[in-house]
């Protein structure tokens, strides 16, 4: 994984601005700590920061290749999992290769197929290709947005980068936030509307989209969509195919020339990945797999079972590690570092985010990086197989809004009346929700409950999953750790999309189909364990820490957050809250996380010198 940046101006000579390009590149040094490179021409400045994973010697970027008198330049962030398949096809078409890197295969694919190359790719990617002869730039992002890519088109300048901070390092882009950006932060955050970059004029290349910029302007194209059609495979065929897709996705994603590990929570999803990976390690590398889990100081003492977190992970992690002979490492996070890292998490994400759910992952990845450069993680299984409570609880399933954020009023109680009047949060959320529902590819003649089921799956894939993928990328890449997500393989997602609900809920269990497909691989008690999400701290010292921090901000008359909050309401909550309360986002973000979120908003406003323009 890496970081990319660039500046294109087709009418003016910008080659003297190398110092600005270098400044943009510097913002990505954590994403690419191993190497850096730049490409300069009159109308195109492109920078790359490299995290070496495959072919450390031959994969340097920006990579330049020529064909028929034309020069092509690529800056690429990602991994292709069908590199060798593509290499065979391209060799048959007369191409030769100077390295065994996926970067060269990707660039050659573009030379051969042009913008259509993205349809051939299996992987996670965000990349830019400059065609010097045509004076055009092509940008593309993977199907589910695992890898980020932002851009801004301002006065003929197309500026792009892996992170928003990269764009802000260019003086053309100002940290201005208008009404819509405020609505994204205070009504939807940590989710973001697909394509929205919060700042005025900043956009995100949408998942499964590409952009072509040339003298005709900027043209956006959607190159892939989920397709709905009747599921015709038999029960046995469905089980077999799901098992094959999952195993193939994991095996493909084990390619690496640097140390690789897995996240292991003891839950179904991470356990499946760990089991397959450990067996492959033993068979092909004759070595043991490193696994990592996270927990919090004194969490066993304060753990509270709930609908969203029914049991703790420890015994299941131990069972998995012993069953598959992994080298397991447990990372324990204490309250002071968890709270302190709230700031670092904002700097990694560029926006307020998931509070300590972010900061804990940031600290976790920091420890993993000491032993590995690549990790595999279990995100996306719940979204595609239906693991979350809102797939099963009627009041959540039928909520007329995003089901993971239905308690909007919980967050609104701490906002100023002026801000609420400005952003009209209920109206804004409803518009985004209905806008998304209008895109769902439903089948003609589907019963209302089946139509609603597709809507819930679609909302989860394009909103909730996108939020978790964004979180995973930012917190891991801030530490130079590449995290891969096998359940996000588009072949698997497309196949499962059309499987009927009664099959997905096999034997009356959430993700029953996935469990059945993995029989014979996992221990029985792991295979049928009730879902439990990423662990959070239950230590009351954390709640006390964020309360104290938030109080200090309120007492500071210069705190930029003060005009945006209802000071009395916040003080009342701090004074009266003696429990964590119900989640207001996802499964983990309750009142302590609301306090932490406000802290992160204040950090964001300060550190990014945000100018609110209303």
What is the band of 309 on the pLDDT scale with cuts at 50, 70, 90?
Answer: low
User: Domain of 330: which CATH number?
Assistant: 3.40.50.620
Which pLDDT belongs to residue 144?
98
With a pLDDT cut of 70, the percent of the chain lying above it is 97
* pLDDT (average), residues 169-174: 98
With a pLDDT cut of 90, the percent of the chain lying above it is 89
**Host H or E run for residue 38:** strand 35-40
**Angle subtended at Cα 349 by Cα 416 and Cα 8, rounded to the nearest 5 degrees:** 110
* pLDDT (average), residues 26-33: 96
Which pLDDT belongs to residue 304?
63
CA distances from 499 to 235, 406, 595 (A): 10, 27, 41
State pLDDT tens for residues 560-605: 999 999 999 999 999 976 667 789 999 889 999 999 999 999 999 9
Where residue 166 falls (left for φ over 0; alpha for ψ -120 to 50; beta otherwise) is alpha
**Angle subtended at Cα 22 by Cα 17 and Cα 23, rounded to the nearest 5 degrees:** 100
User: Given a cut of 80, is residue 531 above it in pLDDT?
Assistant: no
What is the band of 546 on the pLDDT scale with cuts at 50, 70, 90?
Answer: very high
59 part of a folded domain: yes
Which of 20-34, 141-155, 293-307, 454-468 shows the lowest mean pLDDT across its residues? 293-307
Give the total residue count for the chain: 614
522 part of a folded domain: yes
231 part of a folded domain: no
Residues 6+ apart with CB under 8 A from 142: 78, 121, 123, 124, 125, 126, 207, 208
Choose between 423 and 2: higher pLDDT: 423
State pLDDT tens for residues 320-368: 999 999 999 999 999 999 999 999 999 999 999 999 999 999 999 999 9
For the chain, the domain total comes to: 2
267 and 170 in a single domain? The answer is no
Which pLDDT belongs to residue 262?
98
64 and 146 in a single domain? The answer is yes
Residues 6+ apart with CB under 8 A from 259: 290, 371, 372, 373, 374
142 and 249 in a single domain? The answer is no
Neighbours of 198 (CB within 10 A): 26
* pLDDT (average), residues 7-13: 98
Which pLDDT belongs to residue 178?
98
Which pLDDT belongs to residue 530?
81
* pLDDT (average), residues 604-612: 98
Q: From 366, 379, 350, 378, select the one nearest 480 (Cα to Cα).
A: 366
CA distances from 43 to 16, 134, 135, 157 (A): 10, 12, 8, 10
204 and 98 in a single domain? The answer is yes
389 and 250 in a single domain? The answer is yes
Domain boundary among 479, 511, 527: 527
- What is the pTM (predicted TM-score) of this model? 0.96
* Alpha carbons 604 and 592: distance in angstroms, whole number: 18
**Angle subtended at Cα 468 by Cα 465 and Cα 473, rounded to the nearest 5 degrees:** 125
Instruction: For residue 2, indicate whether it is catalytic.
Output: yes
User: Given a cut of 80, is residue 307 above it in pLDDT?
Assistant: no
Q: Which long-range contacts (CB under 8 A, 24 or more apart) does 49-52 make?
A: 49/2, 49/3, 49/4, 49/25, 50/2, 51/1, 51/2, 51/373, 51/477, 51/480, 51/482, 52/257, 52/258, 52/373
**Host H or E run for residue 47:** strand 44-50
Is 611 strand, coil or helix?
Answer: strand
Which pLDDT belongs to residue 538?
78
By CB atoms closer than 10 A (0-12, 13-18, 19+), residue 436 is: middle
User: Given a cut of 60, is residue 308 above it in pLDDT?
Assistant: no
State pLDDT tens for residues 190-217: 999 999 999 999 999 999 999 999 999 9
What is the band of 51 on the pLDDT scale with cuts at 50, 70, 90?
Answer: confident
* pLDDT (average), residues 467-492: 98
138 and 254 in a single domain? The answer is no
218 and 265 in a single domain? The answer is no
Establish how many alpha carbons lie within 13 A of residue 293's alpha carbon, considering only the half-sphere containing its beta carbon: 25
Which pLDDT belongs to residue 297?
87
User: Given a cut of 70, is residue 76 above it in pLDDT?
Assistant: yes
Residues 6+ apart with CB under 8 A from 106: 74, 76, 80, 117, 121, 125, 127
Domain boundary among 470, 504, 527: 527
State pLDDT tens for residues 213-241: 999 999 999 999 999 999 999 999 999 99
211 and 246 in a single domain? The answer is no
Which pLDDT belongs to residue 578?
67
Q: Is-contact 104 58, C-beta < 8 A?
A: yes
585 part of a folded domain: no
499 part of a folded domain: yes
User: Given a cut of 90, is residue 53 above it in pLDDT?
Assistant: no
49 part of a folded domain: yes
Which pLDDT belongs to residue 141?
98
What is the band of 249 on the pLDDT scale with cuts at 50, 70, 90?
Answer: very high
Choose between 55 and 174: higher pLDDT: 174
Which pLDDT belongs to residue 305?
61
Q: Domain containing 136: what range?
A: 2-174+194-222
User: Domain of 29: which CATH number?
Assistant: 3.60.20.10
DSSP code at position 181: H
User: Given a cut of 80, is residue 121 above it in pLDDT?
Assistant: yes
* Average pLDDT for the chain: 95
Given the DSSP bridges, would you call strands 44-50 and 35-40 parallel, antiparallel or unpaired? antiparallel
State pLDDT tens for residues 130-171: 999 999 999 999 999 999 999 999 999 999 999 999 999 999
Backbone angles phi, psi at 3, to 5 degrees: -135, 140
Which pLDDT belongs to residue 78?
96
* pLDDT (average), residues 411-426: 97
Which pLDDT belongs to residue 533?
67
265 and 202 in a single domain? The answer is no
State pLDDT tens for residues 495-508: 999 999 999 999 99
* pLDDT (average), residues 447-458: 97
Choose between 1 and 408: higher pLDDT: 408
426 part of a folded domain: no
* pLDDT (average), residues 17-23: 97
329 and 359 in a single domain? The answer is yes
Catalytic-labelled residue, pool 2, 261, 365, 380:
2
Is 433 strand, coil or helix?
Answer: helix
- Helix crossing, 356-368 with 465-477: angle to 10°? 50
199 and 57 in a single domain? The answer is yes
What does R_g of the chain's alpha carbons equal in angstroms? 24
User: Given a cut of 80, is residue 303 above it in pLDDT?
Assistant: no
602 part of a folded domain: no
133 and 274 in a single domain? The answer is no
Domain boundary among 506, 527, 548: 527
Which pLDDT belongs to residue 52?
83
Which pLDDT belongs to residue 534?
66
What is the band of 285 on the pLDDT scale with cuts at 50, 70, 90?
Answer: confident
Q: How far is CA 542 from the centre of its chain?
A: 26
Sheet of strand 44-50: strand arrangement: 35-40, 44-50, 2-9, 157-161, 150-154, 203-204
């Amino acid at each position: 994984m890496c970081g990319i940046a660039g500046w294109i101006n087709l009418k003016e000579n910008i080659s003297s601005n190398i110092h600005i390009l270098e400044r943009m590149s510097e913002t990505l040094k954590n994403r690419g700590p191993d190497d850096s490179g730049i490409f300069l021409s009159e109308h195109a400045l492109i920078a790359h920061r490299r995290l070496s994973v495959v072919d450390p010697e031959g994969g340097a970027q920006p990579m330049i290749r020529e064909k028929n008198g034309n020069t092509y330049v690529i800056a690429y962030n990602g991994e292709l999992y069908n590199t060798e398949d593509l290499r065979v096809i391209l060799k048959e078409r007369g191409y030769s290769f100077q390295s065994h890197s996926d970067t060269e295969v990707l660039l050659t694919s573009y030379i051969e197929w042009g913008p259509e190359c993205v349809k051939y790719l299996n992987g996670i990617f965000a990349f830019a290709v400059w065609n010097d002869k045509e004076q055009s730039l092509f940008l593309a992002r993977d199907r589910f947005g695992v890898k980020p890519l932002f851009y801004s088109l301002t006065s003929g300048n197309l500026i792009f980068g892996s992170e928003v901070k990269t764009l802000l390092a260019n003086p053309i882009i100002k940290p201005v936030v208008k009404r819509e950006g405020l609505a994204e932060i205070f009504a939807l955050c940590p989710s973001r509307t697909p394509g929205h970059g919060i700042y005025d004029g900043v956009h995100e290349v949408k998942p499964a989209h590409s952009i072509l910029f040339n003298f005709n302007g900027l043209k956006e194209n959607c190159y892939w969509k989920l397709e709905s059609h009747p599921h015709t495979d038999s029960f046995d065929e469905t089980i077999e195919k799901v098992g094959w897709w999952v195993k193939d996705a994991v095996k493909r994603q084990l390619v690496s020339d640097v140390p690789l590990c897995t996240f292991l929570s003891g839950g179904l999803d991470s356990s499946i990945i760990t089991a397959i990976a450990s067996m492959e390690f033993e068979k092909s590398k004759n070595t043991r797999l490193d696994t990592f889990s996270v927990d919090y100081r004194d969490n066993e003492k304060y753990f509270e079972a709930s609908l969203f977190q029914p049991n703790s992970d420890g015994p299941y992690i131990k069972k998995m590690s012993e069953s598959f002979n992994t080298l397991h490492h447990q990372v324990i996070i204490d309250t002071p570092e968890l709270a302190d890292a709230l700031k670092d998490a904002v700097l990694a994400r560029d926006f307020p985010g998931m509070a300590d759910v972010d900061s804990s992952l940031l600290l976790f990845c920091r420890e993993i990086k000491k032993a590995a450069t690549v990790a595999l993680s279990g995100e996306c299984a719940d979204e595609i197989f239906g693991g979350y409570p809102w797939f099963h609880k009627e009041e959540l399933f039928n909520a007329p809004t995003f089901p993971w954020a239905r308690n909007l009023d919980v967050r609104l109680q701490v906002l100023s009346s002026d801000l609420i009047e400005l952003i009209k949060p209920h109206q804004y959320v409803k518009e985004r929700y209905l806008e998304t529902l209008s895109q769902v590819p439903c089948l003609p003649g589907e019963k209302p409950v089946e139509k609603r089921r597709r809507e819930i799956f679609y909302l989860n894939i394009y909103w909730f999953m996108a939020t978790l993928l964004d979180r995973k990328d930012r917190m891991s890449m801030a530490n130079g750790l590449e995290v891969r997500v096998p359940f996000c393989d588009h072949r698997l997602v497309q196949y499962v999309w059309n499987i009927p609900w009664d099959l997905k809920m096999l034997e009356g269990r959430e993700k029953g189909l996935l469990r059945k497909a993995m029989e014979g691989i996992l221990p029985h008690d792991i295979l049928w364990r009730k879902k439990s999400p990423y662990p959070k701290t239950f230590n009351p010292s954390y709640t006390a820490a964020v309360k104290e921090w938030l109080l200090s901000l309120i007492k500071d008359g210069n705190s930029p957050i003060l005009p945006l909050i209802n000071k009395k309401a916040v003080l009342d909550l701090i004074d009266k809250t003696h429990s964590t309360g119900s989640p207001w986002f996802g499964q983990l973000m309750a009142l302590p996380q609301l306090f932490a979120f406000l802290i992160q908003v204040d950090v964001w406003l300060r550190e990014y010198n945000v100018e609110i323009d209303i």
